[in-house]
Amino acid sequence: MFFFIIIFRPISVFSQVKADFIFDKSEGCGSLAVSFSDQSTSTSGNINDWYWDLGGVISVRQNPGIIFTKPGEYTICLTVKTTTGATEKKCKDKVIKVYENPVSDFSADIKSGCIPVNAAFINKSSSKNGPLTSLIWDVGGSSNLISTADPAASIKTTYTSPGNYSASLSVIDIKGCKNTTTKPNLIEVVALKTPKLDYTLISSCALPWEVKYENLNIDPGTTYHWDFGNGETYTGIQPPVVKYNTSGSFTVKLAMEKGPCIDTVLFDKIVSTNRIIDFETDAQGLCAEQNIKLKDISNFYADSLIWDFGDGTFSKENNPEKTYTQPGCYEIKLTKFIGTCVQETKKPCINKS
């Protein structure tokens, strides 16, 4: 008799769960928003539990999203579990990289000046990610916009109009990270108005003369220092009445200050208290019916004048001509009028034969 012994061995069927995931972005600058998608599979029940470690931030959503706000490299881990209790963990090391934005900074070699202002700019930008690959300067003036790949490039411009000028610098580094800085009102450009000076003679028939000057092109932001040429000075926009006690020609000196601008203007011999009235003729002895030409050679202008030819005739022309019809010795007189002042001179005898 034969006996058969049959041994039954249990056959184990190992269920499998495989954790996996994908993401839409792997690197960026400054801050980075990333969406994660679960790609896990299971042959043992349905996956019903997700546990994400997103670089230290935990999420239990199936498809989470997160914004990485700090520069660094982030490891992402996903642990999944099925309804049968099967579980697996999947980590991807340093798959998310957030780069720090570069530092954009610069300075100018001048803060204010009088037109024209020449300014140079110095780059002070840097990046922890590596070298800068692009710099765009917006400095206005003659250069306006400058684009360069050289961080040490010489950046210069000239401002020819008054005003407050801003400047900006945009930089890009080797990782494509960008930053821009703007410095408003960085450079003040100042201009002085061209002065215009007029005057009125208040009293000028005899010494002392009184003169009222008038500043015709005023800038309230400018300080005016006046020197009237007679030892008298004044600081202010409009000069006072000035007295001249001696004969002579006087030059007014005007010094102007506005911020960094300083200039001095001379109004050369603008007032002359030494009035000389005189005239000349083209001949002293002439024949009857022959013209004589007269010319005013006084050193001042008048409101009006009159010529007395000594024969009962007169003229108000500046430089008249005269014809005498009768022989004789004629005294010619020139009279000039300035306001209430009267000044005259005579030539003793113009002979006509």
Please give the pLDDT value at position 134: 98
Concatenate the DSSP letters of all residues of 203-231 into one string: E-SSSSEEEEEEESS--TTSEEEEE-SSS
Please give the pLDDT value at position 249: 92
Tell me how far apart the alpha carbons of residues 81 and 88 are, in angstroms, rounded to a whole number: 7
Kindly state the average pLDDT of the residues 191-215: 92
The fold for domain 17-99 equals Immunoglobulin-like (2.60.40)
Percentage of the chain beyond pLDDT 70 is 93
Query: Is a pLDDT exceeding 90 seen at residue 4?
Result: no
Please give the pLDDT value at position 287: 64
Kindly state the average pLDDT of the residues 107-112: 97
Kindly state the average pLDDT of the residues 221-235: 97
Please give the pLDDT value at position 340: 84
What is the residue whose two structure tokens read 């024209």?
116
Query: Is a pLDDT exceeding 60 seen at residue 11?
Result: no
Please give the pLDDT value at position 338: 86
Kindly state the average pLDDT of the residues 12-21: 76
Residue 33 pLDDT class (50, 70, 90 cuts): very high
Please give the pLDDT value at position 334: 97
Q: Give CATH superfamily name and number for 106-190.
A: Immunoglobulins (2.60.40.10)
pLDDT tens digit sequence for 165-190? 999 999 999 999 999 999 999 999 99
Q: Which of 2-16, 49-63, 237-251, 329-343 shows the lowest per-residue confidence on average (mean pLDDT)?
A: 2-16
Domain boundaries, given as residue ranges, for the chain: 17-99, 106-190, 197-272, 279-352
Please give the pLDDT value at position 9: 46
Q: Which of 64-73, 96-105, 108-117, 322-331 shows the lowest per-residue confidence on average (mean pLDDT)?
A: 322-331
Residue 352 pLDDT class (50, 70, 90 cuts): low
Query: Is a pLDDT exceeding 80 seen at residue 110?
Result: yes
pLDDT tens digit sequence for 261-315? 999 999 999 998 988 899 998 876 566 677 889 999 998 888 899 999 999 999 9
Please give the pLDDT value at position 347: 87
Please give the pLDDT value at position 3: 45
Residue (of 153, 155, 166, 154) closest to 111 by Cα position: 166
Return the HEC string of 259-302. Answer: CCEEEEEEEEEEEECCCCCCEEECCCEECCCCEEEEEECCCCCC
Give the architecture (CATH level 2) of 197-272. Sandwich (2.60)
Residue 233 pLDDT class (50, 70, 90 cuts): very high
Q: Which strand (E) or helix (H) includes residue 124?
A: none
Residue 212 pLDDT class (50, 70, 90 cuts): very high
**Summary mean pLDDT of the chain:** 92
For residue 102, the SS3 value is: coil
Query: Is a pLDDT exceeding 60 seen at residue 8?
Result: no
The fold for domain 279-352 equals Immunoglobulin-like (2.60.40)
Residue (of 107, 96, 101) closest to 130 by Cα position: 101
